[in-house]
Structure 1
Amino acid sequence: MSHGRQVTAWSDGQDEVRQGFWLENLCFSPASSGPPAVLALDMFDRPGDAVRRLCEQVRIAHASSVIPRAMEEVVARARSRRVGALAALHRGEPCGFVLDLPSGARLHWEIRPMPYLLIRPAP
């Protein structure tokens, strides 16, 4: 007599492993020794979309005064490094951007190539 549950597969066999690009945006606070605050987590199919989103997040943080106006040069540098970030991702290497704020907090963005399973339901 079996007490285990039976799992019914609902896939039509068209599942596939794809290469994705995992973007995470974290904030490390000097006031806390705990885990960082998760600001954003996203998965993209194309490296260019992930890099574009990273740059958007930096721009949004700057526009909302999370990143002070005096750091405009640093924000511009993040945007200018797109080509290098894309090249690294195409080679299968991670890329990222770290910004230390005057408050002592640290904003951290990282994009990592990561395979994922695309599961398609049966028609």
Structure 2
Amino acid sequence: MASTEVNLPFFSPLDCSHHSDWTDYTLLMPVCAVGNIGQLTCDLIISTLLSRQECQLVGRIYSPSVMPVVGPNAFARDGENALPTTSTEVYESVKHKLVIMQQRSSYYKNTKQVYVRELTDWI
């Protein structure tokens, strides 16, 4: 019987030819918790920078430890054909030297250590 398991990289860039060096960048990432303040803050920063054309979606994080989410693009303007929103996305602002990770869902309780290891390895 063939396996249906898919082995995706933790970070999947949207454009494989675009290689960013984020050595001097600051990483902003929310902590998924009650109240969602971190997530709302990242949404506000991303929305503001996108409206000024000062950041772009550069990739997505995939981990079997994170609960999957998919839906309409959170930042699309009327009539804009945009990619769907997923559970964890990565935005880059070259102008402000920021990497913004927006995580919209939590990890599964029993996989916390795996997710933290994957995330720290990526960072």
**Common fold by TM > 0.5:** no
Counting helix residues as a fraction of each chain, which structure ranks higher?
1
Higher RCO structure, 1 or 2 (CA under 8 Å, sep 6+): 1
TM normalised by structure 2 equals: 0.31
